[in-house]
Amino acid sequence: MSNCGSSIRFTINGRQCVVQTPPMKRLLDVLREDLHLTGTKEGCGEGECGSCSVRMNGELVNSCLVPVLQAEGATIQTVEGLAVDGRLHPLQQAFLHRGGAQCGICTPGMLMAGAQLLSINPHPTMGEIREGLAGNLCRCTGFMRIFESVMAAAAQDYAPSTARAADAR
Amino acid sequence: MSTSDTTRIVGAPVHRKEGVDKLLGRARYVDDMEREGMRHGTTVRSTIPRGFIRSIAFDRRIDWTEFTVVTAADIPGKNHIQLIFADQPCLADGAVNHCDEAIVLLAHPDKHKLREAAAAVKIEYEPLPAIFTIEESEQQGVIVRGTDNLIKSFLLEKGDVDSAWANAAHIVGGEYRTGAQEHLYIENNGMIAEWSAAEGVTVWGSLQCPFYVHKSLLAVFDLPEDKVRVIQTETGGAFGGKEDFPSILAAHAGLLAMKSGRPIKMVYDRMEDLAATTKRHPSRIRHRTALDKDGKLLAMDIDVATDGGAYSTLSSTVLSRATLHSPGPYVCPNVRVRSHSWATNTVPYGAFRGFGAPQAIFAVERHMDEVAAEIGMDPIELRRRNFLHGGDTTATEQVMREPVILERLLDRALGESDYYARRSRFARDNPSSAVKRGMGIAAFYHGSGFTGSGERYLNSLAGVDVTLEGKVRVLVSSTEFGQGTNTILAQIAAEAIGVDYDDVVMAPADTGIVPNSGPTVASRTSMVVGRLIERAGAQLVAMLREQDGLGEHFTREEFFAACERHRAAQGEVRSLCRYEAPANIFWDDRKYRGEAYPAYAWSIHVAQVAVDTVTYSAEVENFWAVQEVGRVLNPVLAGGQIEGGVAQGIGYALYEKVVLQNGHMANNQMTNYIMPTAEDVPPIHVFFEEIPFQHGAYGAKGIGELPHDGPAPAILNAIRDATGVGFCAIPLLPEDLFAKLAAPETVAEGAAL
């Protein structure tokens, strides 16, 4: 299988790369198997859960639904490309402080959906956040702290809200 | 025990221990791992619900020499999965008892070749009649298990129910049903196994209970304890779905590894995971309740039936918890609970967050609203008149020794939700609106830890050691799967010892390294295992003071210096503690009487629901959860537990339906098994009242399962408030609402309700 591939070129997390691969191989599998970028997860394989979300040419895509040939010449960002020089991205900061990640399996996709939303709408309303994350399923958090994390990242105000902390004590 | 005012780290919103790894995408889940020379495995499953296997043929179009093939004949030890009972085969041998039962295992270096090969294994069956419902099983027209289809039964009796009916002012009956529910962890089940003659079997996988898997592998491989090693990988959600099932997958991967001599990876895709793994037990619960003229409970006669599926798995203990939660948080002098778990020819039902309690609480809390309507009393007032208080006895005659603050929780919930004002506003607005709004509540407890004598039998061992790198290391088999084990136990260790949170690390959940601190289930980790870590930390400090010159007050530098003196003298720095049952705990397993749980968490849920009488969809618009879970160890994590449980409970009530066709899950895709999305969950308002529990770590009780218990009854009670119609079964989908709300006469008149 590996010797009947095409050469596909794209930019991944700011780096040029070429992969020899069957052209219909899922982008998700190319990321995980060929490039060893295992931060992108598979949850359903049919575009329902969003765990495999990556940003491609400024759009959020489910990488399980993208044949890699469509990535020819594309610019792709995965979760591994969010932190710069070891500094967490504002969304990562916010998720860490606000409890936006629990089991962590939806987190890479959720972060990419959040990054996509903030790139086109730097100060979203709660309704816009819900809509922006509607393609990404989380089974642990009930979404509340994910919404709060995206809000916090937009405001770059990371500490857990005092109201909640007070409620909890 | 320290009090909440004096702790530095316990009670603080410290960051999740493994949080940065998860956020950077570098946390290693099982499918992210490779082993040298690894092959991929798959499973050939039964396509009929019950019958004899007549032949297994391998299509000649496949070159089978490339494949490793395993059947039941390859099992070196016992062909069963050891759990409570040993009735479930590792691989079907001669007969199948449910669809999607594993029969043949295949492995190949190229995972893309497995699908075609699996389809080329032709199995011929002689079908037998199969049953799929509680009713078919209890009627015993077809016997599929033992002589009577019964997996387990319990009888709980307090007072004399039969004599109570004559004196009752009101007698109200009802029947309530709950469906199966899929865990829908976003990471499917997965396992990697290696085998060698020298080392035995080693598995890495997504799992909750390393020592459950360990025990099961000992039997399948007929190996001594030191030749089986189980290592948990980062686990992407579990909710009980990785309590019992991983024992099967570990055995399968191990068998392929043994036969091929290669590492084997088996990771299910979503369709296989949905079709073949456990779900929440469906239930049918009947209540008959006697009350006096003031609405005080005189008698509760409760009949609990669950569908256990084809093998027993954990059905007996799920039934036990359902039995013990079925009377609700009320005082009643006469209680009888008769409960039965029945075998059918479906995939075995197993552990799922709440473990029988969500079914039981759905029934009793829905029933309380029906009772209130029947006797003409406000449902809040009916509950208030019958709440348990400190000093009262439960249905098992357990005396409530700890404070019970249901009224305080209720008042807070009513206040925070502005319950009465909203309710009257909706009552005023509903007649002129196609969207009917309503408010509903549920009051409930969840028993923390194992039932009855369970914690004594577990006899858990846990502790800490100090590494050569100068870190305190927590030694537990308790696992992290999102709920916060790593963080909570590290907080407790740091607090108990007097070092910083960053000074504490978790040992890998590896049976070759950590002691058996019991399974990570039953809302026991914070309370029971946390307490062991608190004690082990204090014991370590006392030892260092006694033997190594550590002062009464010390800095973290002085602590680690004393540890090194201890290591130089003794070789290691290690402190382990074993579980000790609190005094005065008595449980009679035969009569089902006594201290059912060491502690209870208490909660009031309030739901605001809108029912659209044009589309017949029901939407939860707002949700309030007020609870007392003892001390809150980490407010961010605790809030996340409640919110996540509520969202899962909303799915249980309104969205999630497992559709079986001839015993096979027909909607085994995320496309048509629907869970709540970011657009479906309402704002969830979470409030804690804290009463430290003296036997829990820094006052903690259980929290993880509690929030799944209340949403379904609160939501259906709100729908009753909105529409005047009491629905008694979940999931409650638009078509179910339509069937009852759009009665022919109202449709004919073109009017809403």
Pairing, β B593-594 against β B435-448: unpaired
A59 lies within 8 A of chain B by CB: no
Task: Select the more confidently predicted residue: A67 or B749.
Answer: A67
Give the number of domains in chain A.
2
| Main-chain phi, psi angles of B615, to 5 degrees | -95, -15
pLDDT of residue B581: 87
Band (B523; pLDDT cuts 50, 70, 90):
very high
Same domain membership, residue A125 and residue A77 = no
User: Is pLDDT above 50 for B191?
Assistant: yes
Q: What is the mean pLDDT of residues B269-292?
A: 98
Q: What is the mean pLDDT of residues B212-232?
A: 98
Note whether A99 and A76 are same-domain residues: no
Query: Mean pLDDT across the stretch A127-140?
Result: 98
My answer on whether A116 and A163 are in the same domain is yes
What are residue B504's DSSP bridge partners?
B472
**Measured between alpha carbons, how far is B492 from B559 in angstroms, rounded to an integer?**
17
In this predicted model, what pLDDT tens digit does every residue of B12-50 receive, in sequence order? Answer: 999 999 999 999 999 999 999 999 999 999 999 999 999
Task: Please report the pLDDT score of residue B6 as a whole number.
Answer: 85
A116 lies in the same domain as A56: no
Distance CA B656, CA B660 (A): 13
Q: Please tell me if the domain spanning B283-451+592-748 has the same topology as the one spanning B460-578.
A: yes
Q: How far apart are CA B495 and CA B538, in angstroms?
A: 9
Query: Mean pLDDT throughout B207-228?
Result: 98
| B578 neighbors B455 (Cβ within 8 angstroms) | no
Residue B744 confidence class, pLDDT cut points 50, 70, 90: low
Across the interface, which of A37, A79, A98 has its CB nearest the CB of B636?
A: A98
Sign of CA dihedral B267, B269, B275, B280: positive
Peptide bond into A90 cis (omega under 30): no
For residue A164, the chain B residues in CB contact (below 8 A) are 635-636, 639, 686
Residues of A in contact with B644 (CB under 8 A): 102, 139-142
Contact A142 B648 (CB under 8 A): yes
A105:B688 CB<8 A = no
Instruction: Give yes or no: residues A74 and A94 share one domain.
Output: no
Q: For B372-402, what is each residue's pLDDT tens digit?
A: 999 999 999 999 999 999 999 999 999 999 9
Provide the 3-class DSSP secondary structure of residue B106.
strand
CATH of domain B37-128+189-267: 3.90.1170.50
**Which pLDDT does position A161 carry in this prediction?**
60
Q: CB of A60 within 8 Å of any CB in chain B?
A: no
Average pLDDT over residues B591-607: 96
Q: Could you report the per-residue pLDDT of B118-134, keeping only the tens digit for each?
A: 999 999 999 999 999 99
Rounded Cα distance between B8 and B683, Å, is 31
The answer to whether residues B170 and B290 touch, using CB atoms and an 8 Å cutoff, is: yes
Q: Which of B377, B370, B358, B357 is nearest to B727 (CA)?
A: B370
CATH of the domain at A110: 1.10.150.120
Q: Give first-to-last CA distance, chain B, whole Å.
A: 57
Chain position carrying tokens 């090969």: B117
Q: Are residues A103 and A55 in the same domain?
A: no
- Produce one character per residue of A125-163: b if its CB has 16 or more CB atoms within 10 Å, e if not: eeeebbebbebbbbbbbbbbbbbbbbbbbbeeebebeee
Show which of A62, A81, A100 is a domain's final residue. A81
8 Å CB contact of B645 and A160: no
Which residues in chain A are closer than 8 Å to B184, comparing Cβ atoms?
Answer: 139
- Segment among B2-16, B472-486, B607-621 with least mean pLDDT: B2-16
Other beta carbons within 10 angstroms of residue B112's beta carbon come to 12
- For chain A, the first-to-last Cα distance in angstroms comes to 58
Nearest CB partner across the interface for A165, out of B110, B236, B635: B635
Please state which of the ranges B329-333, B490-494, B584-588 shows the lowest mean pLDDT.
B584-588
Residue A23 lies in domain: 2-81
Count of beta carbons in the 10 Å neighbourhood of residue B289 = 27
Strand, coil or helix: B487: helix
Q: How confident is the model at residue B5 (pLDDT cuts 50, 70, 90)?
A: low
Output the pLDDT for position B584.
75
pTM here? Answer: 0.97
Q: Taking the domains of chain B in order of start, what are their residue ranges?
A: 37-128+189-267, 283-451+592-748, 460-578
Task: Give the number of other Cβ atoms within 10 Å of residue B385's Cβ.
Answer: 15
**Domain end (from A52, A81, A110):** A81
Note the CATH architecture for domain B283-451+592-748. 2-Layer Sandwich (3.30)
Rounded to an integer, what distance in angstroms lies between the CA atom of residue B331 and that of residue B73? 55
Q: Give one word for A99, left, alpha or beta, with left for phi > 0 and alpha for psi -120 to 50.
A: left
> Is residue B333 a contact partner of residue B158, using CB atoms and an 8 Å limit?
yes
Task: Give the residue among B236, B259, B353, B276 at the shortest CA–CA distance from B41.
Answer: B259
Residues of A in contact with B675 (CB under 8 A): 137, 139
Summarised one tens digit per residue, pLDDT across range B533-571 is 999 999 999 999 999 999 999 999 999 999 999 999 999
pLDDT value at residue B583: 79
More confident residue, B86 or B745: B86
CA distances B207 to B214, B239, B352, Å, are 11, 10, 14
Q: Does one domain contain both A39 and A64? A: yes
Q: Is A145 part of the contact surface with chain B (CB cutoff 8 Å)? A: yes
Average pLDDT, chain B: 96
Burial (0-12, 13-18, 19+ Cβ within 10 Å), A62? buried
Domain CATH number, residue A73: 3.10.20.30
Cβ–Cβ under 8 Å, residues B675 and B655: yes
Q: How far apart are CA B477 and CA B467, in angstroms?
A: 18
* pLDDT tens column, A33-91: 999 999 999 999 999 999 999 999 999 999 999 999 999 999 999 999 999 998 999 99
- For testing contact with chain B, the best of A144, A145, A169 (most B CBs within 10 A): A144
Co-location of A28 and A71 in the same domain: yes
Note the pLDDT of residue B751. Answer: 41
CA pair distance B415, B425, nearest whole angstrom = 15
Strand order in B121-127's β-sheet? Answer: B95-96, B51-58, B121-127
> Which residues numbered 3-42 in A keep a CB inside 8 Å of some CB on B?
32, 37-42
- Is residue B157 within a helix (H) or strand (E), and if so which, with residue range? strand B150-158
Half-sphere exposure of residue B218: CA atoms within 13 angstroms, side-chain side = 13
Chain A residue numbers with beta carbons less than 8 Å from the beta carbon of B647 are 141-143
User: What does the block give as tokens for B279?
Assistant: 């779900």
Q: What was the pLDDT predicted at B582? A: 82
Last residue of a domain, one of A81, A115, A133: A81
pLDDT of residue B586: 86
Query: What pLDDT, on a 0 to 100 scale, did the predictor assign at position A132?
Result: 98
Nearest in space to A95 (alpha carbons), one of B645, B29, B708, B21: B21
Number of neighbouring beta carbons within 10 Å of residue B313: 29
**Residues A12, A42 within the same domain:** yes
Please indicate, yes or no, whether residues A76 and A128 belong to a single structural domain of this protein: no
Instruction: Please report, as a single letter, which amino acid is at residue B91.
Output: L
The DSSP code for B529 is I
Query: Residue B639 and residue A99: Cβ atoms within 8 Å?
Result: yes
- pLDDT for position A159: 84
Total Cβ atoms within 10 A of residue B569: 9
3-state secondary structure string across B242-306: CCCCHHHHHHHHHHHHHHHCCCEEEECCHHHHHHHCCCCCCEEEEEEEEECCCCCEEEEEEEEEE
Distance of CA A94 to the CA centre of its chain: 15
What's the rounded Cα separation, in Å, for the pair B566 and B252?
Answer: 45
Query: Mind listing the pLDDT tens digit for each residue in A17-49?
Result: 999 999 999 999 999 999 999 999 999 999 999
Residues B460-578, CATH architecture = 2-Layer Sandwich (3.30)
Same domain for A95 and A160? yes
User: How far is residue A25's CA from residue A44's CA, in Å, rounded to a whole number?
Assistant: 16
> What sign does the CA torsion over A162, A168, B4, B10 have?
negative
Instruction: Please name which of A5, A45, A41 lies closest in space to residue A25, comparing C-alpha atoms.
Output: A5
When pLDDT is averaged across residues B657-678 and rounded to a whole number, the result is 98
Under the banding of pLDDT at 50, 70 and 90, the label for residue B585 is confident
Residue B649 has pLDDT above 50, yes or no: yes
Q: Which of B15, B25, B637 sits opposite A80 (nearest CB)?
A: B25
Write the burial class of residue B446 (CB in 10 Å: 0-12 exposed, 13-18 middle, 19+ buried).
buried
Mean pLDDT along residues B698-713: 98
Give A69's contacts (C-beta < 8 A, 6+ positions apart). Answer: A6, A8, A23, A24
Rounded to an integer, what distance in angstroms lies between the CA atom of residue B189 and that of residue B186?
10
